[in-house]
Structure 1
């Protein structure tokens, strides 16, 4: 409280961190013999992110060491892999973690599965938490993030941002986007804690044996056919999450890997294969009876979805954005009775009304990149739980069903890149909290 503007306390500059690190390494006065060490130190300080204690921690590990190889070793290691004393950076940061509620701790540790600096869509992150049961769903549906709506999911994200465990990302115009990321040093903290205390949550790194207790695995930028990946991974029978982050150009060996994942891991709740490029999703994906979250977005090679996907009666989130070769949606889509969030791209001119109107649990509908779509079904008004509709890049769409104005729970309508869409009259629709 007060009338003065707040002062944002920034971290140290890289130059100041560099000076501090050299001081604690005993190389403050850089002589000719230390020039190369100082150059390596300029790379090491990138791990510090402005934290003075991080510079002190790393400098202390190099105290009185003049062998370049030891400095290079430290440069190439993750912070969480290094020995940590009580007063080092990660144990000190852990004090903030220790004050979090139990549910929020689990949500925070789940973020360790994402690669460093990965930009996470906030809605997707909360849907992942929900799929894993990290935050519970109640009848009033207020736990999930729904545009401007509050709820435990959004509150968790906001609180983690307030203590700098997550940071919101701004777009090119300086406005806050719907994405967040974990600062690198905080990512080290999450891995540090999950490795030592929460062995059920771990990210996979090539060459490391995955402990039997692990329930959640992510694979980053790795050839998924390599023996050290498959040998350790497929020994696990009770996995709950598989998140695959392929490197650019990956995909030649993805198909057999994905087939093995789907056939092997019967208890999956989360399967994230976004930005992969396999051609065929195995029919027996319908056997994953516990699956809550399936993301196939960004697949430029897959031509159709097996109708067996409609046997996933517990599925809460289905993301098939920008799967441009898929010509039509599965025939029995309406069987997904638990579906709450649907994000789709289709080449159909009309969505299948009989199937869409059966998705009575749906709260979020995202339609993007549908070049042939001319209309939405009138039966959409029967989706009484729907709170958010997002429509983007649908150039042939000319109007929205007038019946949508009768949807009492519709709060957010977001439209972009639909040049022929007539929205006259919608600006006076009192139910909307947000119209973009």
Structure 2
């Protein structure tokens, strides 16, 4: 007699195997069978898998091509492509109107709009899940006019908590920064606010960069006519302690015209902060030098004061780029880990420079060659906005775990109070 073969898989066995796979492979496993799909959809599995992934932050990060489609009468939609594979991710995500990508925190994308009273929006491009985050309170000590707002998502490796930061600063006159923080995992305890003085206002065109438990924002030393230009700087905020420090940038501020903001884009290179800097001398906008700086192994927090210039930078590569500089155009920088290539998007072209087997240049004054690879970009459709973003690591973290309960959504409590007051008013009238 023939015996029935024992089942080749059980839920527990498959679960243990899937926990050891990379995020993209786990997402593909949802198409194998109902059993596998149900395991991957289980919130406890996603939590365990995301926790295992955060233990491997030294793994190479990816760059995403994020496109936003805007059609009149329809909600905005964002789609995502991995630059290394050029394959679209399975989900197109509807995002609030006029929102743009603010920063990336490993596998989560934070969208925001430059308004103090607008909540941030988070999505996971692997799972397609989205959530509106708690609305921040009005800032402390800074008037609302002539200000800019930066929202940033951060993760604390030691406490395993996700935090939402809002930085609010004036770019005219006052150089204060209002920092609001909300812990998203579990009982966040509400928003915590503080205000501190900085030498320069935050740069409006530079997005916050999350690297190894810290957020970095660029500040501009641009001043008015006949005023001496302040040094451009870097604001560092520790996600765990929520403490801040400021540092000068590694290049000379007097190389810029007094009216120009620093042309700086931040990126991550093997777990270290990097800067892509365009050097324009005086009024010159045709002969431009592009420099890639990478932060050396930083000293411990105990060795640094609140304002300290001890950060050490390596000038990795420097080369000339052609064409006329276009102001107020999107730019970005990233490191392609699989091909060991530094990349920079400059309006209509992408510059690529390989790092394999190359030593950093000895000084900023060294002779610069032309970039080894320049790729022209295709024309952009009129209904589309896009850019490249580095520092992405796929994850199964669900943004739904960060969403506040329905009663605390923006405007919900105020609406309920109005309805209650209106009913009481109508009863008294009748």
Q: TM-score, normalised by structure 2?
A: 0.26
Q: TM-score, normalised by structure 1?
A: 0.26
- Structure with more of its chain in helix, by fraction: 1
- Structure with more of its chain in strand, by fraction: 2
* Structure with larger RCO (C-alpha < 8 A, sep 6+): 2
